[in-house]
Amino acid sequence: MKKITVEICTGTTCHVMGSEAIMEIRNMLSERYKESVEIKATSCLGFCRERQAGEAPFVKVNGRIVPEASLLKVTQMIDEIERGN
Amino acid sequence: MLSDNNASKIIKKLLVETARLCFEGRLEEGIDRLVIDTIPKKSNANRCCVHKDRAVIKYRLMAILGHSAEEEEDELKRLSEYAGQTLQREEISEPVLTVIDEACSACPAGRHFVTNVCRGCVARPCMVNCPKDAIQIHNGRAEIDEDKCVNCGICLKVCPYNAIVEIPVPCENACPVGAISKDESGKEQIDYSKCIFCGRCMTACPFGAIMERSQIIDVARKLAEGRKVAALTAPSAAGQFPCEFSQLKGAILKAGFSEVLEVAEGADITAKKEAGEFEEKISEGQKFMTSSCCPVYKEAAKKHIPELCEFISDTPTPMEFAGRKAKEKYPGCTAVFIGPCIAKRQEALEGRSIDHVLTCEELGAILVAKDIFVRETEPAETPGQASIEARKFGASGGVTEAVKANLSGNIQIKPELIDGLDNKNIKKLADICTGKTNFNFVEVMNCKGGCVGGPGNLSTPARAAKRIEKTFEP
């Protein structure tokens, strides 16, 4: 199974806009992902400063940006990468 | 407030943008445009159309500017005029909450409803057990006659398929004291003779129709003008950002506050005095004493359990002592309390030592508006010293521990904790006034988990408590 890295931004903007709630993804992933998905809290990814990549909170899944991230959007991105897209 | 929730996200975005306009000195000029920028013409409407969404945004901005949606007399009055008033005002007025009737969806009154899970079974326990003969079977499915139904809930309990649901009105359901109810048009309104400012209706409403009247612009303006503004951080605020507390202090100073004072310093005075008062009152024969720091609890006692008032400690709250300290140490300063609490706004209005109250969420909005990144900020230390016990005041059980640490040892403390002021606990508090008790000190926290569970927070209670623990481990 592919290794998937989820980086959750803990910069102030992302934090205020609710990035901490996405940490709960640990408990919501299906069993088959438990081994292959690594979840990390990172310092500011800088996307909010650029103001072009969309809106906070930001999460990076294997380098792909998920703007306005929610549990749903991040889970969908993991599924997409797993399917090889 | 619940983070992953679109209603709260909209409000937070507006807080950030409004504060940004204020810091840029363009509040009056830019505030009307913010409505259209937030809901552009071709966006997907949350409500019936973009125009309704925009109308709601306007009222939200009124609340963020510190006004009541209810005070609107002329619908043509522009936000820039309201902003102008906010930039001029020196006094904050009651009430601390506002109901945006344009946003209120006038949810149908709580009733029971048969879903299509119903199989129209032969046993029909719902029909047989209904005391009002309100259930009939039509087309193979149970139906409730609303004119006859008294919402007793028996049908819901006896259905073997869980096919019957009770549809609540979220705000009314959340209010522990019956202070919010419908007016003749079905929209909600708050009865302030009953309201205890707990904020549950605000967090419960899925339409975000209940808002606080913010003081963020009052504070932002004073920061922008370079006035002497002291930030008084509640013990629970220490755990609200993903950084060291010393970095948060650094960030607050960077935002333009002239001083940071931990309210925990005030909590040390409260704990000491409360311990003394406890020993005195118990030795005089009073059967128990309760804590006094939670303003929601005191409001609830005053308005709903008057017989409890004589048992509440007379000691002023940590916020009050910290405010007095700030005014003494930094003469002429504006004292801004920063915490998770709505009721502290009311407490501040009634007292004299605190000028403004911000929630942690609003502090976050100020930091974002100023492009301050707390994790990259130079740590700062404050001159004052607070004990570890005082710094843990904001988590349930913390007040008891702090009082314990200050006892002289003459009286044995037998503590009881009321963790969360729901209907059941309000009744319990009323009962202990008359009945026999096997405790002599009661700590009452309106929010479950203590102040770390407050409505104006950014982190979950568990995470916040853990950060506080980690920061202040000896």
Q: Is B4 on the interface with A (CB under 8 A)?
A: yes
Asked, for residue B177, whether it belongs to a domain, the answer is: no
CB atoms B4 and A41 under 8 Å? no
The CATH number that applies at residue A78 is 3.40.30.10
Interface test with A, best of B3, B44, B358, B466 (most A CBs within 10 A): B3
Nearest CA in chain A to B363: A16
CA distance A74 to chain B (A): 13
Spatial contact of B111 and B167, defined as CB atoms under 8 Å apart: yes
When divided into structural domains, chain A yields a total of 1
Contact B460, A20 (CB under 8 A): yes
Nearest to B368 among A16, A20, A71 (CB): A16
Domain count, chain B: 3
State which residues form the domain around B201. 6-105+187-214
Mean pLDDT for chain A overall: 88
Average confidence (pLDDT) over B325-333: 96
pLDDT digits (tens, 9 = 90+) for B206-218: 999 999 999 999 9
- In angstroms, what CA-CA distances link B60 with B18, B34, B297, B410? 11, 11, 28, 54
Cβ-defined contact of A11 to B12 (cutoff 8 Å): no
Per-residue burial over B449-468, b if 16 or more Cβ lie within 10 Å, else e, is bbbbbbbbbbbbbebbbebb
What is the structure's pLDDT at B4? 63
Tell me if the bond preceding A57 is cis, omega within 30° of 0.
yes
When CB atoms are compared, the residue of B13, B373, B459 closest to A11 is B373
Q: Give percent of chain B above pLDDT 90.
A: 89
Q: Are residues B139 and B38 in the same domain?
A: no
- Inter-chain touch A16–B9, beta carbons under 8 Å: no
Looking at the fold, whether B160 and B118 belong to one and the same domain comes out as yes
* Cβ-defined contact of A49 to B367 (cutoff 8 Å): no
The mean per-residue pLDDT over the stretch A47-61 comes to 86
CATH of the domain at B156: 3.30.70.20
Does B308 fall in a domain?
yes
Query: Are residues A11 and B371, on separate chains, in Cβ contact within 8 Å?
Result: no
Do residue B450 and residue B354 come from a single domain? yes
What's the pLDDT score for residue B1? 38
**Summary mean pLDDT of chain B:** 94
Please check whether residues B267 and B387 belong to one and the same domain.
Answer: yes
Residues making up chain B, counted from first to last: 474
- The proportion of chain B whose per-residue pLDDT surpasses 70, expressed as a percent, equals 99
Q: Is residue B133 part of a domain?
A: yes
Tell me, yes or no, if A76 comes closer than 8 A to chain B by beta carbon: no
Q: Does A43 touch chain B (CB under 8 A)?
A: yes
Between CA B440 and CA B105 the distance in angstroms is 46
pLDDT digit string, tens, across residues B190-199: 999 999 999 9
DSSP string over B321-384: HHHHHHHHHSTTPEEEEEES-SHHHHHHHHSSS--EEEEHHHHHHHHHHTT--GGGSPP---S-
CATH of the domain at B440: 3.40.950.10
Locus of tokens 């931004």: A9
Tell me: the pLDDT tens digits for B95-147?
999 999 999 999 987 789 999 999 999 999 999 999 999 999 999 999 999 89
Cβ–Cβ under 8 Å, residues B239 and B468: yes
Smallest Cα distance from A15 to chain B, Å: 7
Q: Does B17 touch chain A (CB under 8 A)?
A: no
Q: Residue B339 half-sphere exposure, CB side, CA atoms within 13 Å?
A: 35
The per-residue pLDDT for A1 is: 65
The reply to whether B71 and B205 lie within a common domain is yes
Full domain range(s) for residue A51:
4-84
The pTM score is 0.93
Q: Does B376 touch chain A (CB under 8 A)?
A: yes
Beta bridge partners of B337: B232, B357
Gap between the Cα atoms of A76 and A72, Å rounded = 6
What is the model's pLDDT at position B141?
94
Q: Name the helix (H) or strand (E) containing B13.
A: helix B6-23
Q: Are residues B194 and B312 in the same domain?
A: no
Q: Where are the alpha helices (DSSP H) in B24-169?
A: 27-38, 50-64, 79-88, 125-129, 154-158
**Which residues on A lie below 8 Å from B364 (Cβ)?**
12, 15-16
Q: Which residue among A16, A41, A71 sits closest to B458, beta carbon to beta carbon?
A: A16
Q: Clarify whether residues B204 and B154 are in a common domain.
A: no
Q: Are B38 and B14 in contact (CB under 8 A)?
A: yes
Tell me the per-residue pLDDT of B245-293, one tens digit each, with 9 for 90 and over: 999 999 999 999 999 999 999 999 999 999 999 999 999 999 999 999 9
Q: What is the ipTM of this complex?
A: 0.90
B322-341 b/e with 16+ CB inside 10 Å = b? bbbbbbeebeebbbbbbbbb
Pairwise CA distance, residues B82 & B58, whole Å: 11
CB atoms B361 and A20 under 8 Å: no
Task: Say whether B371 and A18 touch across the interface (CB within 8 A).
Answer: no
Q: Are residues B85 and B46 both part of a single domain?
A: yes
Indicate if the pLDDT at residue B421 is higher than 90: yes
For residue B415, give how far its alpha carbon lies from the nearest alpha carbon of chain A (Å). Answer: 34
Complete DSSP assignment for B153-172: -HHHHH-TT--EEEE--HHH
Among the listed residues B326, B302, B317, B322, the one whose alpha carbon sits nearest the alpha carbon of residue B347: B317
Q: How far, in Å, CA of B178 to CA of B172, rounded?
A: 7
Q: Is residue B219 part of a domain?
A: no
- My answer on whether B155 and B56 are in the same domain is no
Helix (H, G, I), strand (E, B) or coil at A49: helix
Q: What is d(CA B467, CA A42) in angstroms, rounded to the nearest whole number?
A: 17
In this structure, the answer to whether residues B236 and B94 fall within a common structural domain is no
Asked whether residue B179 is assigned to any structural domain, the reply reads no
Strand partners, B165: B113
The residue-averaged pLDDT of B358-368 equals 97
Q: Is B361 on the interface with A (CB under 8 A)?
A: yes
pLDDT surpasses 50 at B228: yes
Q: Tell me the chain A residues in contact with residue B8 when contact means C-beta distances shorter than 8 Å.
A: 18
Question: Domain for residue B436, yes or no?
Answer: yes
A11 lies within 8 A of chain B by CB:
yes
Compute the distance between CA of residue B274 and CA of residue B296 in angstroms, rounded to an integer. 18
One domain for residues B191 and B335: no
Is the pLDDT score of B70 beyond 80?
yes
Give B 250-289 residues with CB within 8 A of chain A.
251
User: For residue B3, what pLDDT is reported?
Assistant: 47
Contacts of A41 in chain B (CB under 8 A): 242
- The dihedral built from the CA positions of residue B9, B10, B12 and B13, taken in this order, carries a sign that is positive
What is residue B354's predicted lDDT score, i.e. its pLDDT?
97
| Pair (B287, B430) in one structural domain | yes
- Asked if the C-beta of B369 comes within 8 angstroms of chain A's C-beta atoms, the answer is no
B229, containing H or E segment: strand B229-233
* A53/B326: higher pLDDT: B326
